[in-house]
Structure 1
Amino acid sequence: MGPDALHAALLRPARPSSDYDLNPGQSGPLGRVLRPAAVLVGIQDDRVILTKRSSHLAHHPGQIAFPGGKIDDGDDGPEGAALREAAEEIGLPNSAVTIIGRLPDHETVTGFRITPVLAHVADFTPVAEPGEVDEVFSVPLSWLGDPGNYRVEGRLWRGTFRNFYAAPWGPYYIWGATARILRGLADRL
């Protein structure tokens, strides 16, 4: 799927995205300030680039995620943060990225407002930053773009039962914010 088809998907209506979508009656504390973050939803050769986070990290160890992180003061907005983080985490040079646009912001239960930046990625050789990333891999966009490949699961988290999207693929368990962002893209494809 080329950049034109992905750009057309961005023009279609989208629902808001949050960890609370599948949990009616639950929301974050009133008045809380969300920390801004950005991720790169990189599409290379009709495959979505994902990472397996290092099992040694304090937050979300071993989880499947997009390259990304918090937006720093020196970043040029969400796009700048997503590009910086992708360069740091998987060795993606900025010159290999063509930004298509933004997907809807996603609010997490952990207090972040994530801006997903959708981009076409030219050929490059990924290099996982060992302190943050155990593995870089990709999943076919045709598979992730099918809403039928997502299921709703649940678990107890901090004393509250929470539902979330999951899209297991091979040995990878894609879930939570990553699966929700991908499900939102699938709904628009």
Structure 2
Amino acid sequence: MSDPLAPVLAALARPGRPSSDYDLNPDIVLPEDRKLRPAGVLVAFDCFKGEPRLHLTKRSSHLRHHPGQIAFPGGKVDPEDDGPVSAALREAREEIGLPGDNVEILGTLDPHETVTSFLVTPVLARIHTPFEVIPEAGEVAEAFTVPLSHVADPSNFRTESRRWRGTRRSYFVAPYGPYYIWGATARILRSLADRMAQ
């Protein structure tokens, strides 16, 4: 029986490149001395009901960074973390109740720079057994899943734009049902989709 995540594993074996929230905005000049804070997000798939599904969250509307946006479980690297992978696992446990010993790390994508000055490492993982999803009340308004086939298809992504800090900024979106996946989350998923399509 073939591994349902074989296309993801094949994508991880191919060369990638760093991405950023500025990819679609080549006119923006970033300062060379900018300070980026390391972070990790968990791009976690389960295969319990046939097709692999990706776990995402809708962030609470009162958060300082990216309020109300669709996001991976994850966050900044804290002093007690060993690095982005450790941070991603810790945050997934805190945000959706995913135990770290229920996760197999498959690999990482190249880092993604956000407009909020984070350097985010996407950590791809397989969830071994079903678990009780418990959204953290303070940070997560909702937890849900999306089929891998949706985020793996480049045709499900489009470019939109809006004014931000006085200039028009373009970004990827990949809406799914009532969920408006955009910004850093969509850009990271587009990077994965592009590698899977090679």
1:152-171 paired onto structure 2 within 5 Å: 152-171=159-178
RMSD (CA atoms): 1.2
1:144-167 per-position Cα deviation (integer Å, ceiling 9, x unaligned): 100000000000001111000001
Q: Percent identity?
A: 63
The equivalent of 2:19 in structure 1 is: 17
**TM-score, scaled relative to structure 1:** 0.96
Alpha-carbon distance change, 90 to 27 in structure 1, aligned in 2, over 3 angstroms: farther
Of 113, 132, 148, the residue aligned with 2:155 is 148
Gaps of 5+ in 1: none
Q: Is the contact made by 1:166 and 1:176 (CA closer than 8 Å) also made in structure 2?
A: yes
Number of positions where the alignment pairs a residue of Structure 1 with one of Structure 2? 189
The one-letter code matched in structure 1 to 2:24 is L
Of 107, 114, 118, the residue aligned with 2:120 is 114
1:1-189 paired onto structure 2 within 5 Å: 2-45=4-47, 46-122=52-128, 123-189=130-196
What is the distance in 2 between the residues matched to 1:85 and 1:58?
16
1:114-156 per-position Cα deviation (integer Å, ceiling 9, x unaligned): 0000001122111000000011000000111000000000000
What is the distance in 1 between the residues matched to 2:94 and 2:139?
9
What is the distance in 2 between the residues matched to 1:148 and 1:68?
27
Which has the larger displacement, 131-140 or 119-128?
Answer: 119-128
**TM-score, scaled relative to structure 2:** 0.92
* Bigger strand fraction: 1
TM superposition shift of 1:3: 4.2
The one-letter code matched in structure 2 to 1:41 is V
Q: Is the contact made by 1:105 and 1:114 (CA closer than 8 Å) also made in structure 2?
A: yes
